[in-house]
Structure 1
Amino acid sequence: MLIGEQGLSALSAASIVVLGVGGVGSYAAEALARAGVGRLRLVDGDVVDVSNINRQLHALDSTVGKAKVAVLADRFREINPQLRLEPIQEYYAPQQGQALLAGCDWVVDAVDTVAAKTDIVCSSLEAGQGVISCMGTGNKLDAALLRVDDISKTFNCPLARVFRRELGKKGIRRGVPVVWSPELPKIAEEVQSGPRTPASISFVPAVAGLLMASYVINKILQLKR
């Protein structure tokens, strides 16, 4: 057995919240569920859209229009009937942040906005919870460049740059693990000017989510060694 009975017990005792279950968060959540985590809270206010099908685990023609957290919860119950699931169809907002994070050992931040990310990290650190945050995966094609580092070591990532600035305003300049890539964002020729929505592909967000799950699982196991 790869992690032994002690490792299985540690994972079974763990309580984790995944904030945002889109392209990154859906893969992180499933990896945690399959690894044997005991309690999993899924937080996302969105429903599956046809535009999600290229990269989000729950997105199928048959699930379009359904709540993302509900689709994942049904899927995870088939994977592990003993998993204690809390699907919450809400977007993260600071005013209810404490309630959404309460009772969890680890916080997996896969939300989109820097304001929410900043509040999540600050709240988690203040509460003594483990936390990992995902930086930008849009407009990128080389999944092999994804890595886990301290936020202070990031570069070439527009989201990470703004995130560092906002954390700095709170007096936080290091000590926050993030999944990120140094790959320069690509810009499609037809949208090189004017407002742009980041484009995405199937495998980059997925790998980012799996790296987040790997980090959390290994940290939980290290505490029991």
Structure 2
Amino acid sequence: MGHESTTAETAYSRLELVWGTPALERLRAATVMVLGCGGVGSNCVEALTRGGIGRLILVDGDEVAPSNINRQAIAFPATVGRRKVEVMTEMVRAINPVAEVVAFDRFVRAEDVEGLMSEALDAVDGQLDFVVDAIDTVSAKLALAQWAEHTATPFIASMGGANKLDPSQLRICSIFDTANDPLARTMRKECRKRGICKLTVLSSFEQPRTLPVSGATMGEPDAEGRRPVLGTASYLPPIMGQVIAGHVIRTLVSAVVDGEL
């Protein structure tokens, strides 16, 4: 225990120099929920852990696949076939042995969101400081956005990163200010239908790249009506996860850090 304590102090000493002791204590006391441990989510969780977050709630119902290796923090030949939340939990504890992890090995479905969030809150005695949506299913993303708005829970959702190559065109903004993002376009339309007035997202403003083989763009069917398998750059989802983690951390410490973050 003494070794773990000394290691933790050393590991976070550089953070303390940036944020100061009160802010670091705020991060250690925070609970952040990340739904989805794929390319964006796994890298976000890693950055949150290295950033000093003391308790994480992880949700994912999938297992590591060979195609995940190009972008997911938990994907290695040795982890293929293992449950994502299990590998993610091991990574968190390997980085910070004193971090608390609550894991839900399940897919996020729209009809289950209320129950899932209630179960998660029960597991952490009602303390939930931030929620990160890093899943792909539109219906579930909308249900999460509705829940967050209704409960006034700090929330950010990741939009599409497939067929995008330029990380400099990533931007944190309102869903209603997005452009050139097919997923965000659908979300905007559905948010208006459902009366969701506020939704912070990370979106790429880059025009989706045309696929060299089929000539189709992201999400568009080919001449025979088939939707293409979407390509993903090795670096973009990890950068998206890191940007979201930065937003979460800066938001959490903003009350105890002087100056503009």
Alpha-carbon offset, residue 145 of structure 1: 1.0
State the Cα distance separating 1:100 from its structure 2 match: 3.1
Higher RCO (C-alpha under 8 Å, 6+ residues apart): 1
Q: Does 1:120 align with 2:153?
A: no
When normalised by structure 1's length, the TM-score is 0.96
Helix, strand or coil at the partner of 2:18: coil
Cα shift at 1:182: 0.9
Give distance in 2, aligned partners of 1:83 and 1:96: 27
In structure 1, the residue matched to 2:201 is 178
Structure 2: segments with no counterpart, 5+ residues:
1-16, 216-221
Structure 1: where are the runs of 5+ without partners? Answer: none
In 1, Cα distance between equivalents of 2:229 and 2:130: 30
CA RMSD of aligned residues (A): 1.2
Q: Which residue of 2 aligns with 1:158?
A: 182
Do residues 108 (structure 1) and 132 (structure 2) align?
yes
Name the SS of the counterpart of 1:118 in structure 2: helix
User: In the TM superposition, what whole-angstrom CA distance separates every residue of 1:165-212 from its partner, at most 9, and x where no partner exists?
Assistant: 111112124x31111111111122222323212110111111111111
Larger radius of gyration: 2
* Aligned-partner Cα distance in 1 for 2:253–2:115: 26
Among all aligned residue pairs of Structure 1 and Structure 2, give the percentage whose two residues are the same amino acid.
39
More displaced stretch, 85-94 vs 202-211: 85-94
Counterpart of 1:80 in structure 2 is: 96
Structure 1 counterpart of 2:52:
36
Aligned to 2:7: none
Partner Cα distance (1:29, 1:203) in 2: 16
User: Which amino acid in 1 is paired with 2:247?
Assistant: Y
In the comparison of the two structures, how many residue pairs are matched? 224
SS of the equivalent of 1:47 reads coil
2: distance between equivalents of 1:157 and 1:77?
Answer: 35
Deviation of the 1:34 alpha carbon: 0.9
CA distance in 1, matches of 2:187, 2:56: 26
For normalisation by structure 2, the TM-score amounts to 0.83
Structure 1 counterpart of 2:29, which letter? Answer: A
Given that 2:169 and 2:206 are in contact with CA atoms closer than 8 Å, whether structure 1 keeps it comes out as yes
Shift of 1:95: 3.5
